[in-house]
Structure 1
């Protein structure tokens, strides 16, 4: 009874019939992807209510949609094809062979984020991807990411022995 009254998963489970739709992966995909949602989805798959799917790949695809939607349009026009044709194509191929893991999905998210970071860097340098030169790439590769620049002074704290 405590679980039913206080659990986020239980509240989500009781709210699903109010959607007035068949419970499918697509319905669950349209809801916030948080821990209670993942728990409910795993339970519905384990009990046979939903068919098994390659969850790491499906979550990567959902994440990519949200990530690309949040980008400026000129960056999304570059990131979406890169992610679809390079990252997701390889992920789908590996998933069909059952060789795609949650760790691989994490690595793929990193690859996509780094590509977006590069595009952000180009914007801050007022450079165009069409005209970027090797010296520009070398500068980007040898420059610390903006987060590192901001946190550099505080990194000389107790853990660095200072």
Structure 2
């Protein structure tokens, strides 16, 4: 109740009481912060506000608020770039599928990177029209992340004649360096399987095992619902992609306990009411836990998401061909092929192993 006495919620609720129409746009005009977004989620849950693609629409609001704090000569360049290239691509993608947290985060970083380049030029007392290939290369300094996030901005500048045919060579992807040894990975799996509930909370245990065993992304794990759990031949399957994956009995027991807990939590119910989130938000009703929050919870129990996922993917790519990894774990064919290259494995071994598995005879089947 003390939350209602804070300035922003108080002002918004006063507006509601005065009969003014509350819309997503009117909320966006209020100061940014957790209070605004928490109130938005409550209003959506109460069906006062319509549902929307939250990550895409919050990205648009963030862009306008971010631009408001920039010098005019930066806004003159970054605003059209952000709206007509970065946001346009996100919205185009949103027509086909929901905008993920990762997509929105990557879009923000592209806008920030454009601003960093402009600040670098300001420090050199140079205008964007003075940007040379040598200056650009020196600023990129072979940094793959910076180069990838800067490339779209340079392409946009070239296309509008602001810069003169500058070129950004994105370094090739390298083999992941942050990986555990097989012994470390197996030890973490054993620890989560045998740990007591007082030592490791059930949600963190399940999420950690999904990362350690299947290289599942937090962006996928945090949205899992009870509807994505199925049983076939008395074995539990979890839909980590379009194709459900059978999980071992030990993990199945934990997942079914988590599903039972979710089924009794009204706030864990999805907005459509047809399932319950396995990892519900503690702040927002009818919403999943934020992937960043889930990642921090895993880090506190020693499961570093990127490191453990890298290790799991290398192990899977060592045992399965790229085509299987792609369909079973929701990777693009290109990404699955890269993991296979990292593991240096040929799918012929997988096919040979399948042929060598003895098939039951007709008499045995009977």
TM-score scaled to structure 2, two decimals? 0.36
Following superposition, the deviation at residue 14 of structure 1 comes to: 5.0
Report what 2:29 is aligned to: 30
The reply on whether 1:7 has 2:3 as its aligned counterpart is yes
The reply on whether 1:90 has 2:89 as its aligned counterpart is yes
* Total equivalences in the alignment: 141
TM-score scaled to structure 1, two decimals? 0.77
Output one character per residue of 1:60-107: Cα deviation in whole Å (capped at 9) or x when no partner: 111111111211111110001110111000011112222411221111
The reply on whether 1:81 has 2:47 as its aligned counterpart is no
Larger radius of gyration: 2
Output one character per residue of 1:28-50: Cα deviation in whole Å (capped at 9) or x when no partner: 11112221221221121122111
Distance 2:71 2:51 in 1: 35
Within the candidate set 14, 27, 31, 1:18 is matched to 14
Q: Give the structure with the larger helix fraction.
A: 1
Assess if the C-alpha contact under 8 Å between 1:57 and 1:100 holds in 2: yes
Moved more, 124-133 or 105-114: 124-133
Report what 1:50 is aligned to: 49
Long gaps (5+) in structure 1:
146-162
Moved more, 112-121 or 18-27: 18-27
Assess if the C-alpha contact under 8 Å between 1:9 and 1:40 holds in 2: no
Report what 1:138 is aligned to: 137
Helix, strand or coil at the partner of 1:36:
helix
Change in CA separation of 1:46 and 1:129 when aligned onto 2, cut-off 3 Å: same
Distance 1:90 1:51 in 2: 23
Moved more, 6-15 or 56-65: 6-15
Report what 2:193 is aligned to: none
| Higher RCO by CA contacts (8 Å cutoff, separation 6 or greater) | 1
Distance 1:113 1:17 in 2: 34
Change in CA separation of 1:133 and 1:106 when aligned onto 2, cut-off 3 Å: same
Assess if the C-alpha contact under 8 Å between 1:13 and 1:40 holds in 2: yes
Change in CA separation of 1:126 and 1:10 when aligned onto 2, cut-off 3 Å: closer
Report what 1:150 is aligned to: none
Report what 1:64 is aligned to: 63
Moved more, 8-17 or 95-104: 8-17
The reply on whether 1:129 has 2:128 as its aligned counterpart is yes
Distance 2:12 2:118 in 1: 40
Long gaps (5+) in structure 2:
147-366
Report what 1:151 is aligned to: none
